[in-house]
Each structure stands twice: as structure tokens, then as C-alpha cells.
Amino acid sequence: MTPNDPNNGKTAIDNAKEKVSNYAQEASNRVSEMSDRVQAKAGEVSDRVHSRVHEMGQRMRDVEVDETTIPDSFRRVPKYISPRVHRWLDVAVTGYFLGIGIWFAARGKGRAATAAFVNGGMVAGVSLLTDYDGDGRKPISFKMHGTMDAVQATTAALAPVLHGFAGKPEAKYFWGQAGNEVGVIAMTDWDAGMPESQRLNAA
């Protein structure tokens, strides 16, 4: 076989093809192995999460939690806010969030604007369905409203983190409202907005 023999070129090409094929097969095997490991790890993490969620759910079932839990936890705090005043505060908070939402949108702060509109919508929606007078004409009792106020305060506090502007000046408008809402929850006379029979039972 001479140096110029065409078979030499074919042999070299065949060897190169074989090497490439071997490398490709090895790479495929490694990718498959890594995929199996990732899937196994993901399954392990998923099992842990489900286990933890189940455990937390079991603990929550062992604790008596209802619509009165949060309002009643502030029972010893002096009550300066009547249901009527609380109603107007809800109107003010709705206007506050809609106002800053429009302001943020005008300044190109889309994430903060979205968070503001979400919170404003929450307050407005709950307020429209709340039985402030305790006459049973609306589906959300005043104490349930207090519990939902706590949910809204949490939503406002987490909004800068969830919407990605925690390090921006806009965040202070949400954290400030959340802190203020906790104070309102603590100082509202929730029993005064409940039906008379329930007020007597609570006394």
C-alpha cells in the first residue's frame, strides 16, 4: 500500500467516522445518565415538598382556625375604629392603590403599577361584599373581612418581592400600607360589625 493509495484516505475517513460515532455515543450516554440523575433528584425534592406540605396541612387541621381567628387575636388592643369608619378607610385604601397604580403606570413602572391595581382590586372587591352593618345582607361577615384584610396586607408586603421591585423606591408604598393595615386590623372593633346574636355570644 503506497502513500498515494486511495485506500489510505478511505481508511482515515473511516477511522475518523468511527471516532466521531464513539464520541457521540459516549456523549449521549452521559447526557442520558445526567438526565436520569436530574429526574431522580427532582423526584426526591418533589417527595420532600409533598411530605412537608402534607405535614403542614396536618398541623393546620390540628389548630382551630376560622374567620374570627385573626380579628380575635387583637381583642385586647383598644378599639378606636368602628365598622362605619373602617368602611371609609377601605374606600381610602382603594383610592390610594388606584392612584399610585396610575402614577406608576405613567412613569413606566409597570410591575409596581400591576401590584397596586391588584391590591386596589382586592380591597374594592372585598369591601363591596362586606356586611359592615351586621344585618346579613352581604355574604362576607365583618370578622371575615378582618381576616381578608390580613391577607391583603400580606399581599402588599410581598408585592415588591413577587413583582421584582423590592430594591426600588416604589416598594416603600406597599410596605407602608401593609404596616398601616396591621394597625387598622388591631384597632378595629370587629364585634361591633357582627350580627347581634354573635356579638352576645362573643361577649
How far apart (Å, rounded) are the C-alpha atoms in residues 92 and 191?
A: 22
Please tell me whether residues 91 and 58 are part of one structural domain. no
Overall domain count for the chain:
2
Specify the pTM: 0.65
R_g of the chain, CA atoms, integer Å: 31
| Helix extents (H) in the chain | 6-62, 69-73, 83-106, 110-128, 142-162, 171-187, 196-202
Residue 23 belongs to what domain range? 1-63
Please tell me whether residues 9 and 100 are part of one structural domain. no
Question: Looking up cell 350580627, which residue turns up?
Answer: 195
Q: pLDDT digits over 4-54, tens only?
A: 555 555 677 777 767 767 766 776 677 667 666 656 655 665 566 556 556
Please tell me whether residues 162 and 79 are part of one structural domain. yes
Which of 141, 157, 122, 150 is CA-nearest to residue 195?
141
How far apart (Å, rounded) are the C-alpha atoms in residues 71 and 62?
A: 20
Give the cell for residue 68.
374570627
Q: pLDDT digits over 147-192, tens only?
A: 999 999 999 999 999 999 999 999 999 999 999 999 999 999 999 9
Please tell me whether residues 101 and 38 are part of one structural domain. no
